[in-house]
Amino acid sequence: MNRQDLQNLALTRLEEVEVLLNNHKYSGAYYLSVYVIECALKACIAKQTQKFDFADKKTVMDSYTQDL
């Protein structure tokens, strides 16, 4: 999955969040919003990584864990 894929996925899920909100399905919208943010953050991380470069291990591990 590349940066563009992550951006498209975030935008698609954001549209679904809007549908849920319009239908007063707040808990589902909240849940899906977290996924939108995760995809957007991963797209930002992907932007910083050059093609054929390896990201340092800490950056990779941090992108797979959440500590709110």
User: Binning pLDDT at 50, 70 and 90, where does residue 53 land?
Assistant: low
Whether 13 and 39 have beta carbons less than 8 Å apart is answered as yes
CA dist 41 and 57 (Å) reads 17
Helices 26-48 and 3-22: crossing angle in degrees, nearest 10, is 160
| Cβ contacts of 48-51, under 8 Å, gap ≥ 24 | none
Tell me the whole-structure pTM to 2 decimals.
0.70
pLDDT in tens, 11-30: 999 999 999 999 999 999 99
